[in-house]
Structure 1
């Protein structure tokens, strides 16, 4: 491969990558996305991520 072909391949890759990102952002619809809040997260995941000194209410354990 010549240097020109390599540069064209790199330019094509960058163009496709940027183009797909721009298309993704341009067609983004926030209404179709599900809200990912901490209230929806399973309690066992929250308990693993919170430090041991976290209040009992945030870990989902009973008082």
Structure 2
């Protein structure tokens, strides 16, 4: 492979990576994000933070 082909492969990889990250951020809906891990870590008497309880 020539240097130009290697540089094109690197550029294509970077464009694909950055483009997919921008797409992920642009389409991310924080209201759909749920805190699945918290109920497993917190003891039963702890407030339920996934329900939006104020501490």
| TM-score bracket for this pair, using the shorter chain length | 0.5 to 0.7
- The answer for unaligned runs of 5 or more in structure 2 is 47-55
Residue 40 of structure 2 corresponds to which residue in structure 1?
41
Could you say which structure has the larger radius of gyration? 1
Number of equivalences: 45
Q: What is the root-mean-square deviation of aligned Cα atoms in Å? A: 2.4
TM-score where L is the length of structure 1: 0.58
Structure 1 stretches of 4+ moved >4 Å: none
Work out which structure has the larger RCO, using CA pairs closer than 8 Å and 6 or more positions apart in sequence. Answer: 2
TM-score where L is the length of structure 2: 0.66
- The aligned runs of 1:26-37 (5 Å cut-off) are 26-36=26-36
